[in-house]
Structures are given as structure tokens and as C-alpha cells.
Amino acid sequence: MPEVNIVRAEENSASSDHKGEAAFFDVDNTLMKGASLFHVARKMYQKKAFTLRDAAGFAWKQAAFVLRGESLEDVHSVRDSALVLAAGIRVEMIQTMGEEVFDEMIESKIWPGTLALAQQHLRSGRPVWLMTATPIEVASVIASRLGLSGALGTVCEIEDGQYTGRLVGDILHGPAKAVAVRELAEREQLDLSRCWAYSDSFNDVPLLSTVGHPVAINPDARLRRHARDNNWPIYDFRSGRRAATWGLRAATGAGIIYGGWKGFSRFRR
């Protein structure tokens, strides 16, 4: 069972009509475009916390994530790389970076449509929680800045104010999100049959299946099929429709490869 930290932003009191209800939102590709952890890595590179080669590895994973959606292998790869690089970094640095990353990189990548759905729940008196594999220090900043109720995120082990490079429990991803939501529901006296959950990834089907109102947002191909088969609502806030994006994906993929080759050539020269 994963250990996750719960950070509350400002409290949003539920009306009597919606008592026991809540909404749970995934972050990466659901609330924002791309992976939030990539932007943390980018900021760490700017602060010279690791090398250009490390930064290039994160950039490639981010490009793959945006183009084809989330995969468990990619998530674990990013997690392992980030843990190694975080070892020895002070907690205060990450907390400060979380604020900077939101202001400089994440805020502009928030999907307005997803944010509007979250705000609609808040206006109705339902708490809105982020559920993400992103480290809790970053997830809590996002929740606080957007005025949401709180966040559940992955917890990194800390000793003497520094990250050890190990996790407390496991990454909050896939089935672990469903476990965390059930634990939260028990503590908060929520009726999950009256709750909502939003995600872009087929890996989050356990979370989506836990609530009475699952919704697919910017879904990957497998989640889109699953949502259609189960009559779940689908929202796609990406520019263009699915049928119109395959050419863009191919062109973008080719551009990434070409740009990488050109950049490497310049670097060698």
C-alpha cells in the first residue's frame, strides 16, 4: 500500500446538498499539458543541480509523453531518474522551486477547460483534490495556487532536511490512486458513488472505476475506447480532434528527431 502525503489548500465547505461528494483530478495531461515533473527537472537544471545530459533525457521523456500519452514504463523511468538526481538536495530548495515552476512553467500549461470543471465543483460545494504521482511538494503548490482543496502525491524520504533518493511507500500511480482515494474517503466520510474522478490515462482506470462519476479528459487511445465502451463522458481540450492530430504527431515526432540531430551536431562542433 503506498504512503502518500495529504496537503490541504484552503478549505471549501460542502453544502448540505453535496455533503459526502468530492472530485479527484489527475494532473499530467489532465489538468495541464505534459508532465509536471519535467518542469521541475528543467528548473533543477537551470539551478545547475544536474547535467545537460540528464536534462536531455527528461526532455525526450516529456516529448514522448505529450505525443503518445502516459505509459507505466515512462513513469517509472522518470521516477527512478528523478530520485537519483534528488538525493542530497535540501527540501527547502524543492519547495521554493515548486513556486517558481508553477509561476514560470506550469500556470501557462493549465487546460482552461479542466480548470473550469474543477471550479464548477468548488462552486457547488464539493472539495477538489489532486491525485498525482508528482512529488507532494509540487502537487501542493499547484493545488494551493489554483484554490483547490488539497493534494495527494508521492512522498520522498527525508533525512536531516535532505532527500535520500528513496520513496516512502511507492509512487502514487495506477492502482495506488484508487487505494489512496478509498483511504481519503474513509477519513473524509465521502460517498464514492457520488464522487467524480478525471484522468487522461488508461492506467487510471482503477481510480475512475472507484467513483460513481468517472470522466475521461484528453484520453489516450485505450482510455478513449474504455470510456466509450462504458458510456463515460469524454472531454478533449487539445487543439483539433483525434483524427486531425495524427499528422501533427508525425510531423512533431520528425521535428523532434531532426532538431535533436541538429542540436547534437552543433554541440559536437
- Which residue is catalytic, options 17, 28, 103, 200? 28
Q: Which residues contact 63 (CB under 8 A, 6 or more apart)?
A: 256
| Whether 23 contacts 188, CB under 8 Å | no
Burial of 36 (0-12, 13-18, 19+ CB in 10 A): buried
Which member of 17, 26, 103, 204 is catalytic? 26
Contacts of 208 (CB under 8 A, 6+ apart): 197, 199, 214, 215, 216, 232
Is-catalytic flag, 26? yes
Q: Where are the extended beta strands (E) located within the chain?
A: 4-8, 23-25, 128-135, 150-154, 156-159, 162-167, 196-199, 213-217, 234-235
Q: Is 28 part of the annotated catalytic residue set?
A: yes
As a whole number of angstroms, the distance between CA 32 and CA 114 comes to 8
Catalytic residue annotation: 26, 28
